């Protein structure tokens, strides 16, 4: 049976009020909360970095230290889980090893050996930040959808950005991906 799945990318403290804040990212939480009840499942991706992650400036990367595993900065925004039964929620960790950088949540994903997606599902992507982790997760998911046979959409109202959603919208247009 086809399911509706909301895939919320990186709704974490460091991206909202922490060391790498995305402008107006706190506004996506109420937008996501408006629609999450309409989904059978809600998947949350989480940056889950070791202290010496390759993306950190101290390691030669472009970003300040953020979302270090088991810290308050890596915590999911507390309102994101409100009203969700535990059996409807899954967490997908990314960036868990020192390198390489993984903006997308499904780098190295094996569509033959997984229990997240099934043929006929509708998966709606949203979250933080449009130009990086949302875009790369969308790209990963689109490739996986072609192998498994599910639909991908984007909820732009539930997506925060540093500057623009143009890269996400261009990818959507190029690949016939609809807005939710």
The domain locations on the chain are: 4-179
DSSP 12-25: BHHHHTSSSPPTTG
Please report which confidence band the pLDDT of residue 1 belongs to, taking 50, 70 and 90 as the band edges. Answer: confident
Could you say which of 14, 47, 102, 136 is catalytic?
47
47 part of the active site: yes
Cα separation, 96 vs 94, in Å, equals 5
Q: What pLDDT does residue 72 have?
A: 97
pTM score above 0.85: yes
What is d(CA 133, CA 130) in angstroms, rounded to the nearest whole number? 7
Give the count of beta carbons closer than 10 Å to the beta carbon of residue 72.
10
Mind listing the pLDDT tens digit for each residue in 77-134?
999 999 999 999 999 999 999 999 999 999 999 999 999 999 999 999 999 999 999 9
Choice among 74, 80, 130, 133 that is catalytic: 133
Residue 132 has what pLDDT? Answer: 97
- Read off the pLDDT band of 138 (50, 70, 90): very high
Tell me whether residue 94 is one of the annotated catalytic residues. Answer: yes
Question: In the annotation, is 145 catalytic?
Answer: no
Classify domain 4-179 at the CATH class level. alpha beta
């Amino acid at each position: 049976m086809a399911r509706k799945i909301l895939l919320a990318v990186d709704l974490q403290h460091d991206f909202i009020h922490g060391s790498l804040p995305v402008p107006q990212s706190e506004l996506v939480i109420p937008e996501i909360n408006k629609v999450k009840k309409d989904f059978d499942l809600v998947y949350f991706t989480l940056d889950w970095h070791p202290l010496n992650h390759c993306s950190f400036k101290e390691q030669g990367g472009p970003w300040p230290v953020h979302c270090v595993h088991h810290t308050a900065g890596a915590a999911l925004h507390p309102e994101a889980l409100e009203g969700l039964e535990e059996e409807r929620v899954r967490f997908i960790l990314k960036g868990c090893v020192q390198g390489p950088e993984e903006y997308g949540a499904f780098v190295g994903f094996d569509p033959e050996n997984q229990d997240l997606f099934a043929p006929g599902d509708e998966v709606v992507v949203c979250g933080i930040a449009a130009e990086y982790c949302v875009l790369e997760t969308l790209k990963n998911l689109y490739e996986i959808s072609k192998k498994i046979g599910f639909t991908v959409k984007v909820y732009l109202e539930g997506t925060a950005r540093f500057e623009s959603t143009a890269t996400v919208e261009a990818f959507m247009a190029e690949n016939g991906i609809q807005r939710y």
